[in-house]
Amino acid sequence: MAEKTKGTKCFVAVRIRGTVRARREARETLKQMHLTRNNYAVLIDDRPAFIGMLRVAQSYITWGDVSKECVGMMLHERGRLAGNRKLSEEYLKKAGYKSLEELAEKIHRCAVTYQKLPGIQPVFRLRPPTKGFKGNIKKSYRAGGELGYRGEGINELVKRMT
């Protein structure tokens, strides 16, 4: 995999709303990001193309800066290979990684793109959050809701969803 620049950040985007009556542009953007169902999450970097996609779909998703611990937890508990098999040590060794922590570190530093790993499902299928969403899923995070950019607060939400 190609090495990225040092200044990139890793984001996690989680779909929290359905797309009934959504604009076609937003539905197509969600499909391109592999966010085809509610409670699906993807790991992306901060390329301008991805930022633009997040802005188009911001009425249906929430996203933020993910921590290395949260990436490791998502890989360990919700990472899947083709055929819905869990990530195993033998797959990691075949792909050239010593451990799950090493892979989580490289994904967090954006040295590896998670979706481009061979034989891996590009999404994490999460559960609904424990004790539900704290705000309204129709309002932005800044207005007391759940949608849009939430910075480091995404880690707490993802931990409740894994």
| Calpha distance 63→71 (Å, rounded) | 14
Instruction: Please say whether the beta carbons of 106 and 2 come within 8 A.
Output: no
Q: What's the burial of 111, exposed, middle or buried (CB within 10 Å: 0-12/13-18/19+)?
A: middle
Instruction: Please give the pLDDT value at position 8.
Output: 85
| Calpha distance 23→134 (Å, rounded) | 26
pTM over 0.85: yes
Averages of pLDDT over each 10 residues, the chain, 162 residues:
64 97 97 97 96 97 97 96 93 94 95 94 97 94 96 96 94
Instruction: Please give the pLDDT value at position 1.
Output: 41
Instruction: Please give the pLDDT value at position 87.
Output: 93
Residue 11 φ then ψ, to 5°: -115, 155
How would CATH label the architecture of 1-162?
A: 2-Layer Sandwich (3.30)
